[in-house]
Structure 1
Amino acid sequence: MPFALYLLGLAVFAMGTSEFMLSGLVPDIASDMNVSVPAAGALTSAFAAGMIVGAPLMAVLSLRWPRRRALLVFLLSFLLLHVLGAVTTGFEVLLVTRFAAAVANAGFLAVAVATAAALAPPAAKGRATSILLGGVTLACVAGVPAGALLGQLWGWRSAFWAVALLSAPAVVAVLRSVPAAAARTETVVAGAGGSPAGGGRPAAARREARALRDPRLLVLLLLAALVNGATFCTFTYLAPLATTVSGIAPAWMPVLLVLFGLGSFAGVTVSGRLADSRPRLLMTAGGAALVVGWAVFATAAGRPAAVPVLVFTQGALSFAVGSTLVSQVLYAAPGAPTLAGSFATAAFNVGAAAGPWLGGVTIGAGLGYRSPLWVSAALVALALAVAATAHALERVRAGRVPAPRTGVAEER
């Protein structure tokens, strides 16, 4: 794999640290800003909402930019917004900065996914995606627990400052690793008059949008939203769950976050080796194991010894299934690499917005901090039902017994 993919993973590491670090900071932010814990959890939903809006919008707006310029604009905006978030004293301002930073993050990730797909060999999109998403899982291993520790030592604002500082070397990495091409592949094909074929950015966007009309691709995006919604539903409220239900001391929260990150990294690593050859097995078996795991977690949450094992296991399963879905979206839309990456990002963050909201609703209804775990189990169960229904409908339409192609790479 090209070394540039690993350097792009460094930038994703900085952004992943920001996206996930609130899991260990929600109680402190709620106390400092004089808001409830579910209200502070809305910061995660605001970030996810920014990703949903920003992914397709920024992908379209940046279609005529060289990829390096697009990546740098998004990354520098992300850095400056974290500085603003670190110094603000108003919860509303913090909420806005989280949304805006997510828009920048979404634009960066959409372009980075397309860049990774272009740099990778044709049949290795799963491996390329796993390298890129490895930056997110390493953020869970190192960045997020470090943010939680900084929050305990010097307050939650120090974690925001740390993300801003961490983004600086990522800027250098993008400058050094991504070629300064004159324009994107999808916009540089010249017509007879020397202008971009098809009218430039609007035509390029229309061409990519047409490639996204396949209903099988929409099923993959829905599955991605449901699986990630389950992950964020529980992960957002992991700190209050562990401290109030499991009886784990707050000082151990960084350890739990490290375990979640290690599990996530293990899941991405394994899926990267199998997603190009056994995607259906990963998604079906992994999804079934996720449902069982969330249900077991809900019933065993009161046992401190069981929590670390389940945090690791669910992190591994969630990211193995999730990263496989991302790679399958890219396989399903080879003619729309930029918008496919952006819609995959948006779908995951629809889940990341809905998950914490659903968890907050159940907590606010007095069902306790175990309730998000049951919501997570229900969301993955729904994903399995959707996948089974779509598969059955495909077989009926095809009028034959063998399983049809559903945008998923053929298993070898």
Structure 2
Amino acid sequence: MPFAVHVLGLAVFAQGTSEFMLSGLLSDIAGDLHVSLSAAGLLTSAFAVGMVVGAPLTALTGRAWPRRRALLFFLGVFVAVHVAGALAADYGVLLATRVVGAFANAGFWAVALVTATDLAGPERRARATAVVVGGVTVACVVGVPAGAVLGELWGWRSAFWAVALVSVPPAFALLRAVPGGRPGDRDVPLLSARTELSALVRPRLLLTLLVMALVQGATFCTFSYLEPLVTRVTGLGAGWVPVVLALFGVGSFAGVTLAGRLADTRPKTVIGLGTAGLTAGWAALALTAGHPVAALALVLLQGALAFGTGTALIARVFQQAPEAPTLAGSFATAAFNVGAATGPWLGGLALGAGLGFRAPVWVSALLMGAALAAAAVLRSSEPSAAGVRVRVRLRARRRPAPER
């Protein structure tokens, strides 16, 4: 795997840490800036919404830029807004930095995904995607807990400074490792934005994006409410919460790594088994959450299935829209974050309705049921290899015989 792909994964690690670290810093931020806890929580929602809106907008803006320039620009903006966030004395300023940071993160993600798959080659597309997505899983295991520790020791601003500092080495590495040419210089000319957008409204691609959003919605619905599930249903103490979160992260990293090796050759199998396993796994967790051993094992398994399936789906998006790589990456990023924003909201509605602390897990199972149905429709709509061979033979028979 090219060195630049691993550098992209390191940059995504810093950005993933920023996206999720506020869960351990909200009380400190609320107290320091004199706002309510719910207002502090909007900082996370603002980032997710910024990712959804920013992914296609930044991709359209920077699609013709040299990829190295685009990556360095988005990463530079990301560093700058975290410095501004660390210095912010006003809630409105901090909220603005989260939105701008999300736009920069979305733009970086879209360009990073297509750069990684281009550098790795079509035969290793899923493995390259796994390295980039793996940065998020490492952020869940290492970055987010480290941010919480920094917040406890030196306040929430230290976590923002840390994210900015961790983002600097990848910038220098990208400057040397990523080619500086414009998209389309080597193989085919850059297509118009209208042509690329038309490639992204194909029914099969839209179904793939829907499955991705549903999978991530199910994942983050339960992940967001693991703490009350573990402490109030499973019966484990508060000290077990970091362990459970780390288990989920370890499973996620393992799933991304395994999917990266399998999805290049068996993408339909990985997606099919992943969606089925996630559906059954969330239902099983809802039923067995009161048993610690079963709950811990299922958290590990579901982390692996969720991020492994997500990696295969991202690679599938690029396979289905090869003529629109940057915009395809942006749509995949947007779908991921639609799920990340919608899932916790639906889980919160279920909790607010008084359905109990297992309710978000049941919501995850229902979302995965919908994803499983959409994946089945997607699979049935794709032509089989036998059908493709028949059509090729028919076309060959229709060709006129050459004149003698």
Name the TM tier (shorter chain): 0.7 to 0.9
Q: Deviations over 1:190-244 (max 9, x none)?
A: xxxxxxx7xx8xx631222222232111110100000011111122233343344
1:300-333 CA distances to partner (integer Å, 9 max, x unpaired)?
Answer: 3344444432321111110011000000001111
Match of 2:4 in 1: 4
- TM-score normalised to the size of structure 1? 0.85
Residues 307-318 of structure 1 mapped to structure 2, 5 A cutoff: 307-318=295-306
- What is the aligned partner in structure 2 of residue 85 from structure 1? 85
Q: Based on CA coordinates, which of the two structures has the bigger radius of gyration?
A: 2
TM-score by length of 2: 0.87
Question: What is the CA–CA distance in structure 1 between the aligned matches of 2:90 and 2:139, rounded to whole Å?
Answer: 27
Contact 2:279–2:372 (CA<8 Å) still a contact in 1?
no
**Alignment correspondent of 1:348:** 336
Partner Cα distance (2:130, 2:289) in 1 = 30
In structure 2, distance between residues paired with 1:56 and 1:68: 19
Check whether the contact 1:14–1:167 (CA below 8 A) recurs between aligned residues: yes
Aligned partner of 1:292 in structure 2 is 280
| Superposed displacement of residue 42, structure 1 | 4.1
On the 8 A contact 2:268/2:379 being kept in 1, the answer is no
Mapped contact 1:263–1:312 kept (Cα < 8 A): yes
Checking the alignment, whether the CA contact within 8 Å between 1:326 and 1:344 is kept in structure 2 is yes
CA RMSD in angstroms, aligned pairs only:
2.7
Is the Cα contact below 8 Å between 1:391 and 1:403 reproduced in 2?
no
Amino acid at match of 1:21: M
**Are the aligned partners of 2:256 and 2:308 in contact in 1 as well (CA < 8 Å)?**
yes
Cα distance in structure 2, aligned partners of 1:269 and 1:357: 29
**CA distance change for structure 1 residues 365 and 227 in 2, over 3 Å: closer, same or farther?**
same
CA–CA separation in structure 1 for the residues paired with 2:110 and 2:297: 33
Identify the match of residue 370 of structure 1 among 358, 365, 370.
358
**5 Å matches for 1:3-402?**
3-26=3-26, 34-36=35-37, 40-88=40-88, 90-181=90-181, 183-185=182-184, 204-392=192-380, 394=381
Structure 2: how far apart are the matches of 1:228 and 1:45?
15
Residue 29 of structure 1 and its aligned partner are, at CA, apart by 5.0
Which 5+ residue runs of structure 1 have no aligned equivalent? 190-196, 406-412
Q: Distance in 1 between matches of 2:143 and 2:237?
A: 20
Report the 3-state secondary structure (helix = DSSP H, G, I; strand = E; otherwise coil) of the residue aligned with 1:213: coil
Output the CA distance in 2 between the equivalents of 1:351 and 1:386.
15
Q: 1:30 to 1:310 in 2, by over 3 A?
A: farther
C-alpha distance in 2 between matches for 1:326 and 1:357: 24
Letter of the 2:36 partner, please give it. Answer: V
* Counterpart residue type for residue 370 of structure 2: L
CA contact (8 A) 2:234 2:295 kept: yes
